[in-house]
Structure 1
Amino acid sequence: MADDSQAGKTLVTTGTDDAKVVELDPRLEEAERLRIEAVDRALPATVCIFVPGGGGGGSGVLISPDGYALTNFHVSSPAGSYMRCGLSDGRIYDAVIIGIDPVGDLALIRLLGRDDFPYVEIADSRKAQVGQWCMVIGNPFLLATNLQPTVTWGILSGVGRYQYPSGTLLEYADCLQTDASINPGNSGGPLFDDSGRLLGIVGRASFEKRGRVNVGVGYAISINQAMNFLGDLHSGRIVDHATLGATVATDPDGGARVSNILDSSDAYRRGLRYGHTVVEIDGRSVNTANQVQNVLATLPPQWRVPLVYMDRGQRISTLVRLENLHTSDELLEKMAAALPPPPPAPEPPREPEKQGDAPDQSDDENGGDGPKEGGPKLPDLKKLIPGRE
């Protein structure tokens, strides 16, 4: 137990006859203090999302004082056009969907009612390093019915990870891996560094096969990728991702060699041909087909980016305008196939309970991230917002 005479700077071990007093390293107390301060800075901008009608929910994070927030496409899509969002100050706001990125699993929403929302400081996720401390704040299992998010702490286990679509539209490229606990309902929420700056948007996680239980492998979309698409999302678009207009394969001797190319692509017009080796895209070195896709999938179409390739030993640098990964019809078709069913219709009003009938006290065990029958109820607005009818 703690020795009060030392004001928390010593620990007393008990359970044996020769109890010892152990001096606590002041650096541990300082680290704890800094961690608590970082959580306090990050917490107010974290959003708990609830889909009306029990259609699921998740998490989000405010990025500007006028109410714009980022979340996952797979969190916002069950909501239709609007949702309810709660902040840790105990208030609930209506929110509308502004723009969606179904390929990158991002959505931009806007909370209504204020122009002075708390918002996060944006970090440079390209500078993130394996082993650095990080934290996840959000609404796992939709536990935040009191609008107080859950905080988990861990390290960055990997950077620059690539997650294949695996038969779905969603593609996670150049993402961050963490062992901080991520569970259903954390989706769309923030991944912070140890100073409370935003590193990414939580998305996928690996779960134990017998149940949706975290096994210490979670992924976040890098905030740098999200910022690349922010302009298009603000414009209210359904956003696509980029392709070079060519496919590459990893050469057995090393290098990302062009295996096919469209003669209508800008890359072809700039001289890229079958058999050339791509060595840099957008200033980033690439040596495998995986690395090429890892860069391209973080970029919007129609951007002009630097491209460096090798042609018979000659290093050639040029600017290339990127192509759309999908046609408009193809994107809409795949997006429709990826959308979950709409939330269940509200139940008709129940007859007043007879005197002596006990109300239903069953616990809700739904976890969030998608529509579920009999899903979690919204917090009582009348209790949370004075004067709200």
Structure 2
Amino acid sequence: MDTWIGLMSGTSMDGIDAVLVSFQDNTLCIHETFSKPYPEELRQRLLLASQNHATPDEVGELDTLTGVLFAETAEQLIYNCSLDHSSIRAIGSHGQTLRHQPSGPSHFSLQVGNPSIIAEKTGITTIGDFRSRDMAAGGQGAPLVPAFHKHFFGSGSEDRCILNLGGIANITWIPSSSGRPVTGFDTGPANALIDAWCHDQTGRLYDEDGRWAQEGIVQQALLTDMLSDAYFERPAPKSTGKEKFNLDWIKTVVKRHGEIRPEDVQRTLLQLTVITAVRQMPQSPAMAVYACGGGTRNRLLMKELALALSPVRLLDTAELGLDPQWVEPTAFAWLARQTMEGKPGNLPEVTGAKGPRILGAIYPA
């Protein structure tokens, strides 16, 4: 039985998640998982580069450094489960996004984490650069995980919305009827703004369980101003990232409202995530929402989402057989399998591409 490795680091830039998985028809089996945090110096350099504060030399260095770290993460995963490298068919590596610019005449999505280094150091065929082909075909290059969601999370009796709470929040709408299309798009910020403001004001990388936000109150005028951003009204297909929703975006809006307690800003940012996710979801009477991503560990965020969705049920993807933390790395292992088998990995109705495309570039062992 072939096994596959998925490597993922999202817009939160907190580290690399790795999963060893096997697939059979519409089922999957997780054999091993491992997470490796970024060294703080490297994380800071990546953050600066993502804000256009890096020279070409520095971007090249980051491509190499993150490639080495991704390879080490894969090696540690393999070591932990005492598996022979020869039984692993391929590694699917998303890399670390530095910039995602899906619109304009010269649209692009830039990830670092050189797949050649991963293939060389592990001796395992590696697939990377998953977004470029979809964008070349006129798509957004994101989100890509809805194809995986459709394959493994679909139901014949229940309309399902998969809500991914990463740095950016995105939804995948999977109707129970095969006659209706799957849809999906980035709804806006999630952890990206919550974490950025928390780190700027407290020095902590994230607001554990939303405890700091719980000390604040929602500032309605500030929230209304945030919600007026044109992105939230833009029709799908659409995608976004930290190049838009970042600390500067927060400070620009906050500056228009005089003195506001930092914890009130934090609470308002959390509510922004809730409202922009919920109000952009399709509605149906036979619907359930299944959350995944790092935001599921924020208890206040999950509580507020449940209140906003009621009477629609809010669960997490563990109910569907996959722990919320491992959905995205598993998706990129599956996308690697799609590539190796010559099958499309995108959903044109989600990304806006001209049609299905085989994604990624193959770096042989």
Scaled by the length of structure 1, the TM-score of the pair is 0.28
The structure with the largest helix share of the pair is: 2
Q: Which has the higher contact order (CA 8 A, sep 6+)?
A: 2
The structure with the largest strand share of the pair is: 1
Scaled by the length of structure 2, the TM-score of the pair is 0.29
